[in-house]
């Protein structure tokens, strides 16, 4: 139902876009919501052992979730669960091949994969920024923020903060110290963090094992034009 799936994440880009791009994004979102609306109605008639069935049967505060709540949550989980993990795998694979010493270390010590994933998330996070609304007046690094104002934390910058990470621009899959900020913090911590780690670990472990001679053209990756969702359009490979 998506003719150009790679464009779907453009809707999450906070940078200005032309009317043509905005109209295309609105059309794509409308189609996505229509798809999940139809699928949700099918699951009401024919329940299955899946997340969408759980959503249509869920209750919140003694009431069923509304149709809009079900559809919007399903679309959000679809986008967040696919886009970010796919970009974690692509960004991570590229980072490893650009740092052959770290790639060789991971191949020789596969048990380092959990630590490597955390470092890859820090080094080139798939989600660069987010938005939060200040719940109260506060001061951050000398800047006054009023209650209700929007704050834009940039996780990509926080992950390269030299006050938090030693030699932050260096990829080190044995790195110790504070955890990366890629999944956020507090009550808004990413719902799919553990699933992303599991999928990313399986994908990279399998690629390194089945394609030990995989070669990437690290000089010619094509990046998506998106200030928030960082990922690759293409990455030439051979084996």
Please give the helix or strand (H or E) that residue 155 lies within, else none. helix 155-158
Residue 77: what pLDDT?
85
Region 34-48: what's the mean pLDDT? 94
Give the residue among 78, 178, 73, 79 at the shortest CA–CA distance from 121: 178
Phi, psi of 40 (to 5 degrees): -65, -40
What are 111-140's pLDDT values in tens digits? 999 999 999 999 999 999 988 899 999 998
**What's the whole-number average pLDDT of the chain?**
89
Predicted confidence (pLDDT) per residue in 13-36, tens digit: 777 778 887 888 888 889 889 999
Percent of the chain with pLDDT over 70: 93
Between 175 and 83, the higher pLDDT residue: 175
Query: Do 161 and 133 meet the contact criterion of CB atoms below 8 Å apart?
Result: no
Average pLDDT over residues 73-88: 86
Given a cut of 60, whether residue 2 has pLDDT beyond it is no
Residue pair 125/155 in contact by the 8 Å Cβ criterion: yes
Does residue 237 carry a pLDDT above 80?
yes
Residue-by-residue DSSP string for 37-57: HHHHHHHHHS--SSHHHHHHH
Q: Which residue has the higher pLDDT, 3 or 145?
A: 145
CA distances from 159 to 71, 137, 178 (A): 33, 26, 10
Q: pLDDT band at 9, cuts 50/70/90?
A: low
Whether the pTM exceeds 0.95: the reply is: no
Secondary structure class of 56 (helix, strand, coil) = helix
pLDDT of residue 14: 73
């Amino acid at each position: 139902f998506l003719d150009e799936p790679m464009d779907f994440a453009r809707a999450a880009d906070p940078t200005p876009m032309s009317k043509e791009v905005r109209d295309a994004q609105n059309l794509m979102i409308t189609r996505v919501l229509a798809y999940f609306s139809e699928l949700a109605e099918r699951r009401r008639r024919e329940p299955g052992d899946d997340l969408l069935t759980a959503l249509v049967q869920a209750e919140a505060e003694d009431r069923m979730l509304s149709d809009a709540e079900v559809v919007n949550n399903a679309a959000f989980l679809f986008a967040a669960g696919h886009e970010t993990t796919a970009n974690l795998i692509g960004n991570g694979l590229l980072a490893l091949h650009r740092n052959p010493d770290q790639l060789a270390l991971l191949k020789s010590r596969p048990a380092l994969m959990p630590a490597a994933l955390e470092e890859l998330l820090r080094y080139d996070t798939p989600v660069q920024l987010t938005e939060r609304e200040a719940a109260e007046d506060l001061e951050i690094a000398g800047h006054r923020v009023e209650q209700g104002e929007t704050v834009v934390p940039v996780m990509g910058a926080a992950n390269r903060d030299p006050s938090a990470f030693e030699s932050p621009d260096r990829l080190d899959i044995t790195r110790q110290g504070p955890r990366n900020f890629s999944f956020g913090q507090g009550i808004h911590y990413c719902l799919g963090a553990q699933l992303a780690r599991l999928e990313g670990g399986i994908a990279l472990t399998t690629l390194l094992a089945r394609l030990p001679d995989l070669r990437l053209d690290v000089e010619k990756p094509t990046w998506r034009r998106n200030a928030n969702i960082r990922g690759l359009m293409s990455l030439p490979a051979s084996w």
